[in-house]
Amino acid sequence: MKKSISDFLKMVLIFLAGKFKKFTMRFKKSKTMKDYMMVYYSDAKSARLTGRKVAWITSGGPVEPLIAMNVIPIYPENHGAMIGASKMGGSLCEKAEAMGYSADLCSYARSDISCATINGGPIGGLPKPDMLVCCNNICGTVLKWYEVQARYFNVPLFILDTPFCHTEYTNEAAKYVRAQFDEYIVFLEKVCKKKFDFERLKEVGHLSHQGQLLWQAVLDTATNKPSPMSAFDAFYHLALIVTLRGTQDVIDYYTQLVAYMKNRIARGIGAVPNEKYRLLWDNIPIWHRTRWLSEKFAAHNACLVADTYTTAWCGALKYIDENRFLDSAAEAHARIYLNIGIDEMAKMVLEMIDKYDVDGFVLHSNRSCKPYSFGQLDIQRIVEKERGIPCLMLEADMTDERSFSESQISTRIDAFMEIIKERKNK
Give the span between the Cα atoms of 276 and 421, in whole angstroms.
9
Number of neighbouring beta carbons within 10 Å of residue 138: 22
Q: How far is the CB of 322 from other proteins (least distance, A)?
A: 24
Q: 95: helix, coil or strand?
A: helix
Dihedral sign, Cα of residue 238, residue 222, residue 346, residue 105? negative
The string of DSSP codes covering 193-225 is TS---HHHHHHHHHHHHHHHHHHHHHHHGGGSS
Q: Specify the DSSP class assigned to residue 337.
A: G
Amino acid at 162: T
Q: How far is the CB of 334 from other proteins (least distance, A)?
A: 10
* Helical H segments across 64-197, by residue range: 64-68, 76-85, 89-98, 107-118, 141-153, 171-192
User: Residues in the chain, how many?
Assistant: 426
Beta bridge partners of 303: 278
Which spans of this chain sit near other proteins (rule: CB under 8 A)?
99-102, 104-106, 109, 136, 139-141, 143-145, 147-148, 150-151, 157, 159, 161, 163-164, 166-167, 170, 172-173, 175-176, 179-180, 183, 341-343, 365, 367, 370-371, 373-378, 395
Q: How far is the CB of 152 from other proteins (least distance, A)?
A: 9
Q: How far is the CB of 46 from other proteins (least distance, A)?
A: 29
Burial 190-200 (b: 16+ CB within 10 A, else e): ebbeeeeeeee
Residue 213 or 382: which CB sits closer to other proteins?
A: 382
Residue 183 or 418: which CB sits closer to other proteins?
A: 183
Q: How far is the CB of 226 from other proteins (least distance, A)?
A: 34
Q: Specify the DSSP class assigned to residue 165.
A: B
Q: How far is the CB of 208 from other proteins (least distance, A)?
A: 24
Give the span between the Cα atoms of 58 and 112, in whole angstroms.
12
Residue 44 or 362: which CB sits closer to other proteins?
A: 362
Residue 198 or 374: which CB sits closer to other proteins?
A: 374
Contact 196, 65 (CB under 8 A): yes
Q: How far is the CB of 281 from other proteins (least distance, A)?
A: 18
Contact 277, 417 (CB under 8 A): yes
Residue 183 or 414: which CB sits closer to other proteins?
A: 183
Burial 106-132 (b: 16+ CB within 10 A, else e): bbbbbbbbbbbeeebbbbbbbbbbbbb
Q: How far is the CB of 409 from other proteins (least distance, A)?
A: 16
Residue 141 or 243: which CB sits closer to other proteins?
A: 141
Selection from 180, 194, 149 nearest residue 52 by Cα: 194
Residue 20 or 56: which CB sits closer to other proteins?
A: 56
Residue 44 or 132: which CB sits closer to other proteins?
A: 132
Q: How far is the CB of 211 from other proteins (least distance, A)?
A: 29
Residue 152 or 198: which CB sits closer to other proteins?
A: 152
Give the span between the Cα atoms of 180 and 168, in whole angstroms.
19
